[in-house]
Structure 1
Amino acid sequence: MALTQQLARVSPQYLERCREAATVSPDGDPQWDPPEDDTLDLDWAIWELLWFYRRMQPDASQIPVLEQAINGDPDGSVSFLDHPEVYDGFDAPPALLTPAAVSQVARDLAVMGIAPLLETLPAYREAGGFSGFTGEPREYLANHFALLQSFYSAASEREMAVVTWAD
């Protein structure tokens, strides 16, 4: 079983309906089922991108932005989503970014460029990075980063929250 980073854009109203469903359900099922168009599976790309930054540019300002984009906010409580119908329980439970936090992350991601980091790719691979990756990871990382930027941009424009989890 492969772990992948999952994101869902949801309205505060949808989260409240899930919270209420979990409260009245005998097993706490929040009836979590966001629309497919509002979900994103980043595979493992964002984790590798974080490792890549930490190894090649450890002081990069992009690291906290990427961490927040996938880890949520520490005070964004969605404990009612800690349920087997939402995620497999292998990693930390789902976390939340409020619409205000989503807007900030979207702004920060919009001005980020990973091209300078990708220039260090040969040295990273020589140091053992992407050891299990066959082929050229540049396009894979660039495409998944563009998906992350686009996902947060749309969430911000629609004033939505983002729920993050690994599955």
Structure 2
Amino acid sequence: MALTQQLARVSEAYLARCRRAAGTGPDGDPGWDPPEGDMVDLGWGIWHLIRFCQGMGVEDEHIAVLRRSIDGDLGGDIAFLDHPGVYDGLTPPPALLAPAAVAEIAHALNRMGLDAVLDHLPANNTKAARACRLTGFTGDPRAYLTEHFSTLRAFYTTASRRGLAVVAWTD
């Protein structure tokens, strides 16, 4: 099974409830089950957008925001999510972005001019896919990257508006 980028919007109260469940359960199961509408599977889209941005010399601040949006921040008391019921253990454990960080990321993503970045894509879809390291990709890379970026931006905008944290992991 291929690894994909996962994000979940959660309240601090929900995290506290999961932390308590992990601490009291016999196998440390946190009972992680955020509402389906507050989870998103970004596939590989943002990873490819980051690679393309790096190759095109896009401003480091944009690349840093994209990375932070899917990597989370260091720290955050969520070691209890390092559990097979949450993720497969083949990648680093889930990382947390507190509500203040989520607001920063949402603001930065809303300021980011994706069209200006994607204007550097070759017009030919095969060449554009190669530029993004989308091996074997047969669709329209511009549409693919735009869709995933738009999903990421909307996800963070909603989390920020609701004052929620974001948990990021690869599964």
Per the TM superposition, whether the score is higher than 0.5 is yes
Q: Which deviates more, 2-11 or 134-143?
A: 134-143
**With structure 2 as the length reference, what TM-score do the two structures score?**
0.92
Gaps of 5+ in 1: none
Q: Give the C-alpha shift of residue 74 in structure 1.
A: 0.7
Change in CA separation of 1:5 and 1:24 when aligned onto 2, cut-off 3 Å: same
**Structure 1 residue corresponding to 2:163, chosen from 149, 155, 159:** 159
Pairing of 1:118-133 with structure 2 (within 5 A): 118-122=118-122, 125=129, 129-133=133-137
Alpha carbons 2:52, 2:132 under 8 Å: kept: no
Matched residue pairs, number?
A: 167
Identity of aligned residues (%): 54
Q: What secondary structure is seen at the aligned counterpart in 2 of 1:73?
A: coil
| Structure 1 match to 2:88 | 88
Matched, 1:109 2:109: yes
| Structure 1 match to 2:64 | 64
Q: Which deviates more, 150-159 or 128-137?
A: 128-137
Alpha carbons 1:56, 1:124 under 8 Å: kept: no
* Counterpart-to-counterpart distance in 2, 1:158 and 1:97: 14
Q: What secondary structure is seen at the aligned counterpart in 2 of 1:157?
A: helix
| Structure 1 match to 2:150 | 146
* Counterpart-to-counterpart distance in 1, 2:132 and 2:164: 39
Change in CA separation of 1:126 and 1:19 when aligned onto 2, cut-off 3 Å: closer
* Counterpart-to-counterpart distance in 2, 1:61 and 1:116: 15
Alpha carbons 1:52, 1:124 under 8 Å: kept: no
**With structure 1 as the length reference, what TM-score do the two structures score?**
0.95
- Which 4+ stretches in 1 moved above 3 angstroms? 123-128
Pairing of 1:35-50 with structure 2 (within 5 A): 35-50=35-50
Change in CA separation of 1:128 and 1:156 when aligned onto 2, cut-off 3 Å: closer
Q: What secondary structure is seen at the aligned counterpart in 1 of 2:166?
A: strand
